[in-house]
Amino acid sequence: MAKRIQFSAHGGPEVLEYVDFTPREPAAGEVQIENRAVGINFIDTYVRSGLYPVQTFPSGLGTEAAGVVAKVGAGVSGFQVGDRVVYAQAGLGAYSAVHNVVADRVAHLPEAISFEQGAASFLKDLTVYYLLRETYEITSGETFLFHAAAGGVGLIACQWAKALGAKLIGTVGSDDKAALARQAGAWATINYRSENIAQRVLELTDGQKVPVVYDSVGKDTWEASLDSLQRRGLMVSFGNASGPVTGVNLGILNQKGSLYVTRPSLFGYVTNRAELDKASSELFSLIASGAIKVDVSANQIFGLSEAQKAHRALESRQTHGSCLLIPGR
């Protein structure tokens, strides 16, 4: 028997249940992982709430964790019992003491990176990788806008941009979060509660605006994002923290300068072992070199049984950086 979080209906954090379950043996092509630290991501709240509905209940939750290989299924090569590993693209169920994961979705975790660092950053690192390196390749000296710069993904993006020699303008919701983003490497910040985003972008870029905007906020920042783009600029909408963008009039893209819009996801960019190895090699190098630092505040580390509390904290917008669940705590 082991412990996991499951839910039997969509809803608020109260639907999350801490239960016993019997892990099944890993199938062919899978490894069974004893999770030492589990990553909490905003997308988990979309799944729990039903914005991204599941079809079968009860359902597990979460796709990211770091731990140790406990069992290896038939046909798996490259992994053995005792290996330190991390994953971010598993089937739902990572909020668990034990989870079976397709081996091609698992990466070896270097000794220099702790389980907590791996679980706190792998999905966010991969997200920043596909955004800044694949969706639109940011180059040295380039200026761009990144919403929610003090969030888990945002703080990594700030550091990655600095490592690339680029100028990230980050939106934040408070002066404290502005300080966090600048400390992480943001070139400039905009407090969206007290400043006009598009106007400040215009001022910061001497009237040039930016070639690309990365927006995980959604409905609340859609117009401001479009208004911050140069002619033929790219709007990268990769999240819905304030609600989904709906009822879009495509004519507005023409009116605002023949703009482009894309709605990417990690599963469209990291789809096989070769792509995972390429991405993880680059991001692990940045972490090992110190260019990207992954620290989790003690008050954002929860026991697995405290998943409801963790989700309330995440949705309150009072957290910064990453949150973790620790099995057995």
Strand ranges in 125-207 using DSSP code E only, listed in sequence order: 143-146, 167-172, 188-191
Alpha-carbon span 141 to 228, nearest angstrom: 18
Cβ neighbours of residue 110 closer than 8 Å, sequence gap 6 or more: 84, 284, 288
Give me 210's structure tokens.
């930016």
Q: What is the pLDDT of residues 82-97, one digit of tens each?
A: 999 999 999 999 999 9
Question: What is the domain partition of the chain in residue ranges?
Answer: 2-121+269-326, 140-264
DSSP string, 78-112: S--TT-EEEESSPPS--SBSEEEEEGGGEEEPPTT
- Structure confidence at residue 242 (pLDDT): 75
CA angle 314, 320, 325 (to 5 degrees): 55
Q: Say whether 140-264 and 2-121+269-326 share the same fold.
A: no
CB 327 within 8 A of CB 36: yes
Residue 238 bridge partners (DSSP): none
- Mean per-residue pLDDT over the chain, rounded: 93
Q: What is the pLDDT of residues 103-130, one digit of tens each?
A: 999 999 999 899 999 998 898 899 999 9
CB 60 within 8 A of CB 40: no
**CATH code, 2-121+269-326:** 3.90.180.10
Characterize 199-213 residue by residue with b for buried, 16 or more Cβ atoms within 10 angstroms of its Cβ, and e for exposed. Answer: ebbbebbeeebbbbb
Alpha-carbon span 117 to 109, nearest angstrom: 10
CA angle 259, 262, 266 (to 5 degrees): 155
The domain covering 140-264 belongs, at the CATH homologous superfamily level, to NAD(P)-binding Rossmann-like Domain (3.40.50.720)
Give me 182's structure tokens.
């600048």
Q: What is the pLDDT of residues 163-212, one digit of tens each?
A: 999 999 999 999 999 999 999 999 999 999 999 999 999 999 999 999 99
User: Among 131-135, 184-188, 201-205, 321-325, where is mean pLDDT lowest?
Assistant: 321-325
Q: What is the pLDDT of residues 55-77, one digit of tens each?
A: 999 999 999 999 999 999 999 99
In eight-state DSSP terms, residue 8 is S
